[in-house]
A and B are shown apart, each in its own frame.
Chain A
Amino acid sequence: MAKALTQTELSQVFLDRIYGLPEGEKVKLCLQCGTCSGSCPTSAYMDYTPREIIASLRAGMLDRVLKSNTMWMCTSCYSCTVRCPAGIRFTDVMYELKRLAIAYHLHSRFARAPALSRAFMSVVGRYGRSAEAELMVRLNLATNPLELLRLAPMGVKLLARGRMPILPERIEGRESLRRMLAWVEANDDAHAAQEVV
């Protein structure tokens, strides 16, 4: 591993990651018009709105954003992306913020969205398919087991209508898929967090 990064260097790493996205450099063209925030269905519930995120990103203060709830409110509706007059693919930026928060462990331990993403990755990696029942159990065991009791009535209703299989479906080519994902883990360092002093 390379030498530990200072906070200033880390800010540059965050920026480079965003500029490195497909069309990521377009973030530099942001005119702070706020169309993204105005179009976003959940910006009212975010600690920092999309427009503020770009401002803080350019001011080297992205760490505040990454510790906030902001990107976990993004539903991937792509309203900001289709409306941005500068052509910024802001939904992709939100995904990068999620990845950075997870890689650098900046979110709260009990945050549900990162836990769901990790559980999903584990389920899909093993079966090749999503498995709703296991996903919900894993998500809630990792965050708040009592939540399972609250969700149980809906699970039972779905079960009664043949809409909640207990056992996962598995693909035949699990070994082939495992090798593909292993190649990514071994060769793609984009998700690897660097040590910070």
Chain B
Amino acid sequence: MSQYAYYPGCSITVNNRAYDTSTRAVCQSLGIDLVELKDWNCCGATAYMAVRELAAFVLSARNLALTEQQGQQEMLTVCNACYMNLNKTNRYMAEEPKLREQIGAALAAGGASYSGSVKVRHLLDVLVNEVGCEAIQARATRKLEGLKVACYYGCQLSRPYPTFDDAEQPSTMDRLLEAVGATAVPYPMKAKCCGGMVMSTSEEVALKLVKGLLQCALDSGADIIATACPLCQVNLEGYQGRVSARFGSKLNIPVVYFTQLVGLALGLTRQQVDLGRELVSADRALAAYV
């Protein structure tokens, strides 16, 4: 059984518990041992970097240091922003001696150290490249046949580092969901931006981006959007009313986490994948699979 230090990230624990719950349930079902990183802190997200560069790197580095200290080699996360920030910190520490020295000194001031040994993985990478689509297909007791899914990857999963998927046209989620019986519709906007935190600061601009993403998913014939990022989920789901009001067209489509769909296919219950917390109900789209 493979073991990972699990880094849930703030967004998951704060307002996206369904992603956390369904991640744990899917991993348990597939024999992936998640050991939650003890005392993890915020990765810095996008906002911290806008004020302090070094401190933002130190925030991520503390988590990498904790992973080493707790005897783990690999860290697993499910949030795109956490994934990118932790990877970026790892890379910049390896490439920039001065930065590595400064981060090391800051960690030391708080009684920690980091040698650079931790590998950061996204759950999507682990499911497709470690467990494998074929193995998951073999375990799927409830095929998602007939479900048309728009797989939405967002930005920071594959940019700036296309570690396990294409930077602009990723396909891992499509392959994973196809393996469990769903139809991944062609979704050209799959890695375009949802606006991220700009939704909280310049809503008018972000609404236009979300409108484009929702319209494209509906035009592609999707019943549901699957995401791999908690912020994307909130932006795509929570603002559908405002997008519809602003642009005068009814844009209504449920947005769930890819882990919830994989979980259902693995035979998990609605409760185990924590469906029911959506703002746009997924009940009708998923009625045949729960």
User: Which residues of A come within 8 Å of B, CB atoms?
Assistant: 22, 41-42, 45, 69, 72-73, 75-79, 81-82, 89, 91, 95-96, 98-99, 102, 112-114, 116-118, 120-121, 124, 128-132, 136, 139, 154, 157-158, 161-165, 169, 171-173, 176-185, 187-188, 190-191
Contact = CB atoms under 8 A, between A and B. Distances in A.
Contacts, number: 196
B111 interface: yes
B135 interface: no
- Main secondary structure on chain A at its contact with chain B? helix
B70 to A, nearest CB: 13
A99 B159 contact: no
B190 to A, nearest CB: 13
A172 to B, nearest CB: 5
Interface in B158-179: 159-160, 162, 167-168
A161 B18 CA distance: 10
Shortest Cβ-Cβ A-B pairs, 4 listed: A120-B47, A183-B109, A78-B159, A176-B110
A179 B55 CA distance: 11
A180 B156 contact: no
A35 B205 CA distance: 21
Interface in B17-68: 17, 39-42, 44-55, 58-59, 62
Given A22-B96, A116-B47, A177-B62, 15 more contacts: A22-B99, A41-B209, A77-B159, A81-B159, A99-B50, A99-B51, A99-B53, A121-B47, A130-B45, A158-B15, A158-B238, A162-B277, A176-B112, A190-B54, A191-B51
A184 B58 contact: yes
A130 to B, nearest CB: 4
Nearest to B41: A128
Contacts of B54: 184, 188, 190
A45 B195 CA distance: 12
A165 B109 contact: no
Contacts of A73: 198, 202, 205
A191 B52 contact: yes
Interface residues of B, number: 63
B53 to A, nearest CB: 7
Nearest to B206: A75
Contacts of B111: 176, 179
A162 B195 CA distance: 24
Contacts of A172: 39
B105 interface: yes
Contact of B105 (A131, A162, A187): A187
